[in-house]
Structure 1
């Protein structure tokens, strides 16, 4: 097992052309080990979401290197990058981004189908996750019939469906009240330890930071460590 599941080395990101170029990230480096839950905090416009998008291979850095499970993403073809995103990374966003015409259970089964999982195995995994997250009684419901907290728990289950090595969460509690937000982050922290995943969470909510192993601060595109 790789000690560091996620490695970002000297990542810089520029947007724009010529004289209008803006440097959003400036020589940022981070290593996240198996079983480690890292929070990224900082003011609006500091580069947090760009950082997370690059970590998840959704954006290409202008310079620098990203390694997931020891593989340098810069050396992979677009096809292989898609497989990495589907199989190695679980994404969570501030809005649950559920598909409105799919039931709770089908949201999870779609992820398994995209990676070619056997139907019976996928159904067993989906039912196991929904039970663990207290959603079994909602498995045939559509997103419009769920509360905000339930929708975010479905998003967690979907992110875990393919047992990813890395979990990336962008403001996962933004649409939730304090109690439901705390419950969501506790679930994330528990899964990171239980399954030895590596997780990075971008958050504005300082009340959740005690659940994280490390806190890094980003401002003006630069990253620095904070004490938890």
Structure 2
């Protein structure tokens, strides 16, 4: 397994009251597997994804990516793991307005302390794969919504992470563009043998995933 979440609990203190957001959540996602998490607002989807991506720590439970248990890592090691082992695709593409398309990818490598000509070649190859080869010198303002999300997919794959996490990647797209973007994520998951989780409200794209899991009242239920 590439991603393993074991007996995850997450609670917050609200005055004298303790609010449980996640309750005994366990999930394993293998290489090459694309899993969708669906559920109503307030069910714990965002908290779940933040914990899977090491942005939040669970109150209790264990997360393992590859053969690395996240609870054993220092703060610096955890930050390195986020850069090198996890690729995030956010609800909005979150592109940096003053960087062109190719540089959006290269900045990820630079954050990880890697600068080389091979990284430029890797960025160009990813952009070609996703149909953006001719747009690599364009800036975000000149891209369509679908193109921006494709750049976000390429950026998430730039450091060859073990796990891809997508947070509502179709939220700002129409049906056709949304389906095309999720199809690209699915294709890349298979082509590059990644484990992937997508949180979504969009039932129109569920035919593209391997498994659908519902989250409700902080617990996971197979669909």
Q: TM-score, length-normalised on structure 2?
A: 0.97
2:205 to 203, 208, 211: 208
Does residue 30 (structure 1) correspond to residue 51 (structure 2)? The answer is no
Aligned to 1:113: 110
Q: Which moved more, 1:198-207 or 1:109-118?
A: 109-118
Deviation at 1:17, TM superposition (A): 4.5
Deviations 1:12-31 (A, max 9, x none): 11122452321110110000
Report the equivalent of 1:128.
125
2:7 maps to 1:10: yes
Whole-angstrom distance in 1 between the partners of 2:5 and 2:171: 26
**Alignment partners' CA distance in 1, 2:131 and 2:59:** 42
- SS of 1:204 mapped into structure 2: coil
Residue 44 (structure 1) aligned with residue 41 (structure 2)? yes
Cα RMSD over matched residues?
1.0
- Please say if 1:104 is aligned against 2:117: no
The 5 A counterparts of 1:84-95 are 84-95=81-92
- Cα distance in 1 for residues equivalent to 2:33 and 2:16: 40
Provide Cα deviations, 1:94-119, integer angstroms capped at 9, x if missing partner.
10011111111110110111122242
| Residues 150-171 of structure 1, C-alpha deviations (whole Å, 9 max, x = no match) | 1101100100111111000000
Tell me, which stretches of 5 or more residues in structure 1 are unaligned? none
- Post-superposition, which runs of at least 4 consecutive aligned residues in structure 1 deviate over 3 A? none
Residue in structure 2 matching 1:191, options 168, 188, 192:
188
**How many pairs are equivalent?**
223
- Distance in 1 between residues matched to 2:152 and 2:191, nearest whole Å: 19
TM-score by length of 1: 0.95
Q: Which runs of 5+ in 2 are unaligned?
A: none
Instruction: Give the Cα separation in 2 of the matches to 1:17 and 1:77.
Output: 28
Shift of 1:88: 0.6
The equivalent position to 1:145 in structure 2, one of 108, 125, 142, is: 142
Q: Partners of 2:15 and 2:176 in 1: how far apart?
A: 47
Q: C-alpha distance in 1, partners of 2:100/2:216?
A: 40
Aligned-partner SS, 1:46: coil
- Find the aligned partners of 2:139 and 2:68 in 1 and give their Cα distance: 38
**After alignment, is 13-22 or 110-119 more displaced?**
13-22
